[in-house]
Structures are given as C-alpha cells and as structure tokens.
Amino acid sequence: MNLRPALPSDCGLVPPSGDGRPPIAEILASLDALGAAGWQETEIASQPAPSGGALPIRAYASTAAVDAVLIGGIHGREPAGAIALARYVPRLIERGRRLGLLVMPLLNPWGYLHHARYGPAGQSVSDSDHLLGRTAAPACPEAGAITDFVVHRAGIRPGSAVLDLHEDPIYEAPDYRFDGFGSYLYFIGEGASDHPVSRRMRRCLAGSALPLVRSGVTRFGEQIVEGAIVDSADGSIDELLARRLGCTPVITVENLLHAPDEPPLPGRVEVYVAVLDAFFGA
Ligand SMILES: [Zn+2]
C-alpha cells in the first residue's frame, strides 16, 4: 500500500524558469517506476511547498549495498541532470538488476521550482563542511539530513563510483566571462582522474555537442586542466563521498550556461543521457 502523501499542487506546474523544464510531478512520476521494479524508496528530507505541504527529497536504491551513486538536481538552475536521470529510468532498472545503485535525482526540488541555486535557507542543500571538519553545524536542515543519509544509512561501499550531474549557470556571476559553450569535469577520489570510468567520461564529453573545455578558470577560481579539476576541496557532497566514504571515481559534470536556455535544455539532456551511458560503459 502506498502511504505517500499527495504531492503539493506546485509540483504540477511548469516552473517559470525560461528553459522549458517539466513539472516536478512529471520527473517524480518517471522515477516511480523504480519502486514498481522493487527498488527501495526513501524520503530523505523535504522542503516547504509555496502552496503548503512539502516537496519530497527522495532517494532510490536497487539493493541494500550500494556500488554506484547517481546524483542530480542539487542546484536549482541546473535541471539537465534530474531530467536525464528521469529519462534514464528504464536503463537504471536494467542496470540495478546486477549492480547496487543509489539514485538521488532531485535533491533540491524547491530550487528547481523557484529557479534558484540554493534551498529556502539560502544554502547549498548538500553542503558537507560540517562532516569534513570545517564547520560545527550543517548549513541548512536539508544538508544535515542528506549528508546523514549518505554517511550512515545509504549502505554505500568504499570504492563506489559516483556521478553528480551539475551545470554551470555562469550568468549567476555577471562580472565573470567564459566565452563559448562546453563541458568540464571534477574528479575526486584515489586514482579518480585515471580511472576507466573517468576515461570513458572524458571521451564521451570530448565528442559530444558540449565538448570538453580544455583550459580556463571557473567562476570559483579553479583552474581547468585538460577539461578537469582534480581533488577540489569545495565542501560538496562529492568531496564527502570521496574523503569520508572512500568512493572513487567521484565525477562531477558541468556545462556552461549563458542563459537558462543557452544552450537549449533538450540538447543538454541528450548529452547527459550519453554521459550516463558512458558512466555504465554502455
Ligand atoms: Zn551546480
């Protein structure tokens, strides 16, 4: 019996973000097929819905012991990852028959709805600095709940591969310039940047419609070398997964956005579906 509360009415609306992203309900409906295939669904946390009620933050696991982690939707102006993961559900079900998969596809539904980077507290929903010895307390309630789930309840085995799908809306920083379009990567974890999964990822993006940016400096001041930033200490959940749980490779994908629909969202989703294929070696 399904005892989940009904989704708030906001989830049925097309968010006014200017990129044509689908309603949250549409994404969550695609993911419901994971539960129907026997995956364990967990509500890790929730965020307040504008019309009342709660926007669920869900995780889906194919088995109790996890070998690979897929993450999307941490930042609300970066929808391509969540949409690609929703579209990838049939292949996730297939992969999950042989592999322990944990999928956290839309970690910041409030940001997705409001087209805002952070959650309602103005903080990154998966900030991990409190578990990396840098701050005393979680940055916001979601960060406390999400990191606690990942470290203590998710069953993630050391050596698990991680893929975290972001985008880089550089228009958030009006004084910053980076000409052209393309992608870049972050690698964290022991031997991560030379791992076979990482090599597949470089090849996939290099030949994609959003080709790897070979060099440059991100708006956070990080140097991109041969398309990647290695061993960043940014307090992200990726850093937590690598340093606290021994995951490797932990791969974060980014692509440069000059406006919500530049480049257009459907093409970005296509690239991220190909990225998922590359992650699994399909
Ligand atoms: Zn991001």
Question: Model-level pTM?
Answer: 0.97
CATH of the domain at 217: 3.40.630.10
The answer to whether the peptide bond before residue 263 is cis (omega within 30 degrees of 0) is yes
Question: Is 6 contained in some domain?
Answer: no
- Angle at Cα 33 formed by Cα 29 and Cα 34, nearest 5°? 115
C-beta of residue 42 within 8 angstroms of C-beta of residue 58 = yes
Whole-number pLDDT of residue 179: 86
Give the residue numbers spanning the domain of 61.
17-280
In the predicted structure, residue 3 carries a pLDDT above the cut 80: no
State residue 109's pLDDT score: 98
Q: What is the pLDDT of residue 5?
A: 83
Output the CA 1–ligand 1 centroid distance in Å. 36
pLDDT-derived band at 2 (thresholds 50, 70, 90) equals low
Q: Is residue 2 part of a domain?
A: no
Instruction: Count the domains in the chain.
Output: 1
User: What is the Å distance from ligand 1's center to 2 Cα?
Assistant: 33
Give me the residues paired with residue 161 across strands: 68
Summarised one tens digit per residue, pLDDT across range 189-229 is: 999 999 999 999 999 999 999 999 999 999 999 999 999 99
Q: 1 pLDDT exceeds 60?
A: no
In this structure, are strands 223-225 and 215-217 parallel, antiparallel, or unpaired? Answer: antiparallel
Query: What distance in angstroms lies between residue 38's CA and the mean position of ligand 1's atoms?
Result: 30
Ligand 1 center–CA 98 separation, angstroms = 30
Does 192 map to a domain?
yes
pLDDT tens digits for 29-73?
999 999 999 999 999 999 999 999 999 999 999 999 999 999 999
Residue 12, in any domain of the structure: no
54 CA from centroid of ligand 1 (Å): 23
According to the model, what pLDDT value does residue 180 have? 85
